[in-house]
Amino acid sequence: MLPFIGMMLLTLIIGTIAAAVVDEGRSRRMAALFTGLTMIIAFGILVYSLITGSVNVHEDYIYYMVQFAVDFNFQLNIISFSLLLMATIVSFITALSGNTEHEREKTSSVLILLFELSAVGLFASANLIMFFLFWDVGVVALFFMLYLLGSANRRHAAMKFIVYEILASMLLLFAIMLLYFYTPVHSFDINTIIQNSPLIPTSTQWLVFFLLAGAFLINMPVFPAHLWLPDAHTEASTQGSMLLSGILTKFGGYGMILTFLLVPSGYTFSGFLGLLAGFSAFYAAFALMTQHDIKRIIAYTTIVEMSIILLGIASQNVYGTTGATYAMLAHGFGIAMLFLAAGSIGYMFSDRDFRALRGIIKSSVSTGYTMLIGIFATTGVPLTAAFIGDVLIFTGVLKAFSVYATIPLFSLLLAGAYLYYVINKSVLSTKDVTQNVEYIAREQKLGYSMLMFFIFFFGVLPFILLNFFSV
């Protein structure tokens, strides 16, 4: 078998360097090329897994910290692979079609490649040091993405982002250290910790659980640590938003799934976590209904969706976990599509307040329909991937908790109702305002159609990935 992860990381490292050394005009092409290659390798893993019947990748490279026996070692299971596949696809589309303004292309290309490097490394990491390393690379890459690219007030948003994320990193590092010292065999290896974690004293497990959950809940984000997300999205560039909501929030979701494996005693608190998730979903759905900036509205839907995903993870059974993974995959595509369209709207009309926008479907047909399908994908209409996620999550919730735990599904109703209101005012109306028909770049249309394709591909053919879960 081919060293897939190594190939991906090498491609991305070469790509980052290549995008940094070529001149401004070509750097975007470099980014698209190398992210595309990475995506092809990820599909290679899928094909390989379909042939062999299971996702099972283990790769081991040179020592990184000899004293602690920490290697550059990688592994993939179906959960991390689903997210990895989504991350490579979304990164490719971000690099290809996110920046139609041609604004600081070189900076954005380098940062996208760097961020994808971190995403691939994080999802594939087999030990916690690698996990932490790639986590911080991703956070730093996105910090610069926010700080350097975006609208006028971006620096404040970027600082807010980094403060929250540094807090998360700190909690994460502390938890990793505790795990290392309290595991009887003193290891950073995820599999070894999972095997030995029942031997850790329960109180220590609880402490580690709180630290890890704190870190990942900030990252997901879930109430009360969600405040960085709307600001970051309002100020970020289109590409920044796509990566932020599409991929970075999934770090937290993946971490949360991992947390329950690393510290099984955390199961005691799954009920509280579910309560928090349910509250957060409603809180975000109501807060969403007072927003007017399209990007801010979409940002709040991220919080709603991630809360529901947290609910799925908290239910701690095969349905909940599978559903959460699938919902994260779906959410990555859906939210990237919405942000791509919202960015295009902001660029075309120099305004993102939906009350001021009229008749987008007339001015730009593709953007209008993309928004519409994005909303279908967000509210979980069947045949979009989000439906599969929602169905599985709530099956899991019903099995783990009670009937009342399905009430958070109504937060999707609130969010959906407001989203339909927004789209009626801005997209599907031609009341008394005539706007110029703007030219939409070909690569942007390609981005729309690719994301749409994947939303329906994973919605109509869910068994491709879901069959691996039952193995």
Partner 1 sequence: MLAILVIVPLIMAAFAAILLRGSPNTVKYLALLASLVSLAIAIYIFVYPSGAQSFQWFNVGGLAFSIGTATQPINMLLLMLVSVITPLVFLYSIGFMDVPSEQPRFYFEMCVFAASMMLFAISSNLITTFIAWEMLGITSYMLIGFWYRKEKAPDAARKAITTILIGDIAMLIGILMIGASSGTFNFATIFTLPITSYLDVALILILIGAFTKSAQFPFHEWLADAMEGPTPVSAFLHSSTMVKAGVFLIAVMLPIYNSAGLLNIMLIIGIVSALIGVSNALTERHIKKILAYSTIEDIGLMFIALGLNAPYAALMLFFVQTFYKALLFMNAGAIMKANDEREDIYKIYGSAINGSIASTMLVGVLSIAAIFPLSGFFGKVSVEVASQNVVVYALILLMELGTSIYIFRWMFVTMRKSFDKSAPVEINYRSIPRSMIAPMYILGVLTIVASAAFPYVLRYIELGAGVVNYTQITVTDAAVSMVLSIFGIIIAYRVYKQGHRLHLESTSKALFNIVYNSQLVNRAYTVITELTARVANTVGYTDYAFDRSTYALSQGATSSGGIIKGIVNGQTNIYVLGFVLGLILLIFSFIL
Which residue stretch of 6-14, 98-106, 378-386, 436-444 sits at the interface with partner 1 (rule: CB under 8 A)? 378-386
CA distances from 310 to 151, 390, 395 (A): 31, 12, 14
Report residue 277 CA to chain centroid gap: 17
Which residue stretch of 24-32, 95-103, 280-288, 436-444 sits at the interface with partner 1 (rule: CB under 8 A)? 280-288
Comparison of 43 and 421: residue with beta carbon closer to partner 1: 421
- Count of CB atoms within 10 A of residue 124's CB? 26
Q: Which residues contact 392 (CB under 8 A, 6 or more apart)?
A: 312, 319, 320, 322, 323, 326, 327
Interaction of residue 388 with partner 1, rule CB under 8 A: yes
Comparison of 29 and 160: residue with beta carbon closer to partner 1: 160
| Number of residues binding to partner 1, judged by CB under 8 A | 53
Report residue 276 CA to chain centroid gap: 20
- Helix orientation angle between 385-400 and 409-426, rounded to the nearest 10 degrees: 150
Q: Is-contact 74 317, C-beta < 8 A?
A: no
Which one of 23, 62, 203, 431 is in contact with partner 1 (CB under 8 A)? 431
Interaction of residue 318 with partner 1, rule CB under 8 A: yes
Interaction of residue 444 with partner 1, rule CB under 8 A: no
Comparison of 177 and 391: residue with beta carbon closer to partner 1: 391
Which one of 410, 437, 446, 449 is in contact with partner 1 (CB under 8 A)? 410
Q: Is-contact 426 357, C-beta < 8 A?
A: yes
Q: What is the CA radius of gyration of the chain?
A: 21
Nearest distance in Å: CB 78, partner 1: 12
Per-residue contact flags (x/-) with partner 1 for residues 227 to 246, judged by CB under 8 A: x---x---------------
Interaction of residue 470 with partner 1, rule CB under 8 A: yes
Which one of 39, 208, 340, 466 is in contact with partner 1 (CB under 8 A)? 466
Q: Which residues contact 116 (CB under 8 A, 6 or more apart)?
A: 12, 35, 38, 87, 88, 91
Q: Is-contact 244 303, C-beta < 8 A?
A: no
Interaction of residue 391 with partner 1, rule CB under 8 A: yes
Interaction of residue 286 with partner 1, rule CB under 8 A: yes
Per-residue contact flags (x/-) with partner 1 for residues 110 to 149, judged by CB under 8 A: ----------------------------------------
Tell me if residue 390 falls in helix, strand or coil. helix
Which one of 115, 394, 448, 454 is in contact with partner 1 (CB under 8 A)? 394
Give the CA angle between residues 342, 345, 348 to the nearest 5°. 150
Interaction of residue 97 with partner 1, rule CB under 8 A: no
Which residue stretch of 70-78, 115-123, 180-188, 415-423 sits at the interface with partner 1 (rule: CB under 8 A)? 415-423
Nearest distance in Å: CB 65, partner 1: 34
Question: Helix (H) and strand (E) counts for the chain?
Answer: 20, 2
Comparison of 200 and 415: residue with beta carbon closer to partner 1: 415
Interaction of residue 374 with partner 1, rule CB under 8 A: no
Q: Which residues of 311-349 are buried (b: 16+ CB within 10 A; e: fewer)?
A: bbbbbbeebbbbbbbbbbbbbbbbbbbbbbbbbbbbbbb
Comparison of 195 and 290: residue with beta carbon closer to partner 1: 290
Tell me if residue 293 falls in helix, strand or coil. strand
Interaction of residue 332 with partner 1, rule CB under 8 A: no
Which one of 275, 287, 366, 441 is in contact with partner 1 (CB under 8 A)? 287
Comparison of 56 and 317: residue with beta carbon closer to partner 1: 317
Nearest distance in Å: CB 102, partner 1: 30
- Sign of the dihedral defined by the CA atoms of residues 64, 56, 212, 339, in that order: positive
- Interface with partner 1 in residues 158-177 (CB under 8 A): 163
- Helix orientation angle between 294-314 and 318-349, rounded to the nearest 10 degrees: 170
DSSP single-letter state for residue 340: H
Comparison of 202 and 430: residue with beta carbon closer to partner 1: 430
Task: Give the residue from 125, 89, 108 showing the smallest Cα distance to 9.
Answer: 125
Interaction of residue 412 with partner 1, rule CB under 8 A: yes
The burial of 429, by beta-carbon neighbours within 10 Å (0-12 exposed, 13-18 middle, 19 or more buried), is given as middle
Which residue stretch of 10-18, 139-147, 255-263, 461-469 sits at the interface with partner 1 (rule: CB under 8 A)? 461-469
Torsion of CA 236, 163, 249, 105, to 10 degrees: 30
Which residue stretch of 55-63, 147-155, 200-208, 382-390 sits at the interface with partner 1 (rule: CB under 8 A)? 382-390
Contact set with partner 1 (CB under 8 A) = 163, 224, 227, 231, 283, 286-291, 317-319, 322-323, 361, 376, 379, 381-383, 387-388, 390-392, 394-395, 398-399, 403, 406, 409-410, 412-414, 416-417, 420-421, 424, 428-431, 462-463, 466-467, 469-470
